[in-house]
Chains A and B, each alone.
Chain A
Amino acid sequence: MPRAAVPRSPMAQPRSFVWTRRIVLTLLLVFVLVPVYVILSSSLKSLQDVQGSFQWIPRHVTVKPYVDIWKTIPLAHYFVNSLIVSVSATLLSVAVAIFASYGVSRYRFAGRRLFTVTVLSTQMFPGILFLLPLYLIFVNIGNDTGITLNGSRLGLIITYLTFSLPFSIWMLVGYFDSIPRDLDEAAKVDGCGPMGALFRVVVPAAIPGIVAVCVYAFMTAWGEVLFASVMTNESTRTLAVGLREYATQNDVYWNQVMAASLVVSVPVVAGFLLLQRYLVAGLTAGAVK
């Protein structure tokens, strides 16, 4: 690294710093990239090759696993399930959170503290705490009214709100607080009602924060395992549970597992990396102030 690359840096960088940076970051890159490489290279191997001793370089490169993954298990079906559940939970929680966060951020009213404390504290509770009662409630609602929540997509969406809603409210309150109050006051002076101020001024100004919250909520739902493993059945199974079916009694189709993992990861990772500018901005103004 030529020193000229950072000419006006206030932190003049001595050799010790540059070398520490090289060594530490190289080690970290290896740590991060090895599993990523394993996913990619193993997904291009034949079943015979992944069942033998590990090889860094695939002996025969084949794309057959990418074809087979759709046939071995109903992957496309699980993909659609995951998509429906994650998108619905994200949109629902962010929509509800926008109103609630605006109320908390802009108004002072009796019960405000109780509300924020409740939301904040449920955010830290383990999912297992809600899984058990929700499961029993769903089973009993099903018995009493015939409405099937247990095993349905709707039921899963409701349970996903247990983590996405408090999280969305928490992040958005922080973000709305960072938007100068003068902005919506000015809008009100210009004749906007409170709702007008929210949708014409606060929401547009908070787009980076809202995008960040959407991405986080979606990612968490997309990767959720606990609720999905209890609250789904064959027709509503999500990817998180479905991928386990590549393991049969005799074989684990590791090449297909890796191919499928890659396929289900690409949309999320691509979206995340595209939006990371917003994510850092959202985090700066929101959660970490």
Chain B
Amino acid sequence: MTATAPLENASEAGPDSGKPAGRGRLRPRIPARLRQGGLPYLLLLPAVLLELLIHIVPMVFGILISFKGLTLFYIRNWSTAPWTGFDNYKIAVKIHQPIGQALLHSFWVTLEFTVLSVGLSWLIGTAAAILMQEGFRGRAVMRAVFLVPYALPVYATVITWTFMFQQNTGLVNHVLHDQLHLTSDKSFWLIGSNSFWALVIVSVWKSWPFAFLALMAGLQNIPRELYEAAAMDGAGVWQQIRKITLPSLRPVNQVLVLVLFLWTFNDFNTPYVLFGSAAPHQADLISIHIYQSSFITWNFGEGSAMSVLLLLFLLLVTAVYLLVTSRKRGDADA
């Protein structure tokens, strides 16, 4: 009885299960008050300190310098940089001036790139996960192969694609021009309008396996009885996919799409390795753009203002997304 009492109490109290529910066990040296009330804070202390150091302080600092005219001149002593109020923000959003125009342009490029890349990655990942749900010979090997692009270090992947996209020595032009005769010239892939598509292809290549992995994990949670019952009722495999598999994946998809969106939208590694610090106009993603204004033209104030604007946008997107998906989930429950 004494053994079950705390468990019952715990499940009743639910959240407060950390409390030993009236059983005063002796814990030497740690006072009871601290044991019950202070312990979670003690557990969190290292994480909170680190969070302060790596996230909170830099974020506050970033907001602070977005209001300052911080250039290379003041870098040794940032506090002497003059206050400029909202000037950096005004410069960033004046869409008829060169800086504002370029920022808006790279914002749209990033949005298009993200929607395309996430959409394709999700589509391919879903198709592969569903087609591989049932056993067939070679499935395990194929699954391992599909995870390789995800496991490869990003720069190794992207460098390889850079090599494949070379105009004269690359595989892409060799296949399109020399072998299939689809193009009349060997086109440029890393400058001009093709560069956008090069970026999308590389991004999809390395991010679809993550969608595949997450969706495979999600598929394992669907009870097989559902399929058995549906098969008994005479539903074919395509019908089972439409009626059981896809709806069951919805919670996974809600997390997956948001995570993919944020990762792709914030991606710096891919464009930077593919193009270097000066991306072609057609593929000037926002992270590269901010990097450029901060570390190439050394205008930290403007770079910070752009970062803060980006942050506000991402917060807005996430809030709206969570609101919409949680409402849908609520409907489904009701």
CA distance A34 to B230 in the complex (A): 39
CA distance A104 to B171 in the complex (A): 51
For B27, B266, B303, which residue has the most chain A Cβ atoms within 10 angstroms?
B266
Which residues from A are CB-within-8-Å of B124?
A: 28
- A27 to nearest B CB, angstroms? 10
Which residues from A are CB-within-8-Å of B119?
A: none
A-B residue pairs, 10 tightest by C-beta: A103-B43, A126-B266, A100-B47, A272-B151, A133-B58, A108-B15, A261-B156, A223-B154, A54-B174, A107-B40
Q: Does B134 contact A (CB under 8 A)?
A: yes
Of the listed stretches B98-106, B190-198, B214-222, chain A binds: B214-222
The count of residues in chain B whose C-beta lies closer than 8 Å to any C-beta of chain A is 120
* Chief secondary structure at chain A's binding surface: helix
CA distance A26 to B44 in the complex (A): 48
> Given A115-B44, A122-B55, A239 and B155 touching (CB < 8 A)?
yes
Of the listed stretches B86-94, B233-241, B324-332, chain A binds: B233-241
The count of residues in chain A whose C-beta lies closer than 8 Å to any C-beta of chain B is 111
Which residues from B are CB-within-8-Å of A24?
A: 127-128, 131
> Given A6-B135, A129-B311, A189 and B51 touching (CB < 8 A)?
no
Cβ–Cβ contact A126 & B62, under 8 A: no
- A175 to nearest B CB, angstroms? 12
Across the interface, B18 reaches (CB within 8 A) one of A11, A39, A194, A284, namely A194
Other contacts beyond A24-B128, A166-B55, A186-B7: 9, CB < 8 A? A36-B148, A96-B50, A103-B40, A108-B18, A111-B41, A130-B59, A185-B10, A240-B154, A273-B147
> Given A28-B146, A188-B6, A288-B255, A35 and B157 touching (CB < 8 A)?
yes
Cβ–Cβ contact B135 & A258, under 8 A: no
Q: How would residues 57 to 100 of chain B score, 1 for a CB under 8 Å from any chain A CB and 0 otherwise?
A: 11101100100001000011110000000000000000000000
Cβ–Cβ contact A16 & B152, under 8 A: no
Which residues from B are CB-within-8-Å of A194?
A: 18, 35, 39
B residues 26-49 near A (Cβ < 8 Å) are 27, 35, 37, 39-41, 43-44, 46-48
Cβ–Cβ contact B57 & A137, under 8 A: yes
> Given A34-B171, A188-B20, A222-B153, A10 and B227 touching (CB < 8 A)?
yes
Cβ–Cβ contact B272 & A229, under 8 A: yes
Cβ–Cβ contact A29 & B51, under 8 A: no
CB<8 Å pairs between A and B, sample of 14 = A10-B227, A16-B238, A35-B164, A54-B173, A126-B307, A127-B266, A128-B268, A132-B62, A132-B294, A165-B51, A188-B25, A225-B155, A225-B272, A239-B153
Measured CB to CB, the nearest residue on chain B to A23 is B131
Which residues from B are CB-within-8-Å of A130?
A: 54-55, 58-59, 62
